[in-house]
Amino acid sequence: MDPLQFEERCPNSRRLSNAVLLDHKFIMTRRGYASVIPHKDSQVEGVLYELTEADEEKLAKKHEGVPKYYKRKHLPVRVGSKTITALVYVATKVTQNPVDNNGKFEYAAKILCGAKKYKLSELYQDILLGTLGEYLDQT
């Protein structure tokens, strides 16, 4: 959710708005990377972008490790009062509680900074902080 990193990776993208993925929750995988899993009555807040095909392919293959580490899923997200279908990257292996979280401080900090930059709800920022806390305690 780092705006500068996203702009570098997808220079032709356009930010549309914030969005909410219902009945899912944010997790850190065993590898120590972000993903979402189905979870009734939970929600994941994020940012919705419009991507060119070239940016989407570059993001998938070069940066997100599709298909080895992530898969692309089209899931319904709420934008304001509307529900639309959006592309979401979901980890292929969703085992939680990483074995080794060394070196993930910067990654976790970028997620939290992005949440603040994009003005995700305070409640959701607290949820992220709770999930990412162990990564931030490495200093």
Residue 118 lies in a domain: no
Give me the CATH number covering residue 88.
3.10.490.10
Structure tokens given for 9? 């990776």
* Predicted confidence (pLDDT) per residue in 68-111, tens digit: 788 889 999 999 999 999 999 898 876 655 555 566 888 889 99
What domain count does the chain have?
Answer: 1
Segment 44-71, tens digit of pLDDT: 999 999 999 988 877 766 666 677 788 8
Residue 76 lies in a domain: yes
For residue 126, is it within any domain? no
pTM score, whole prediction: 0.86
13 part of a folded domain: yes
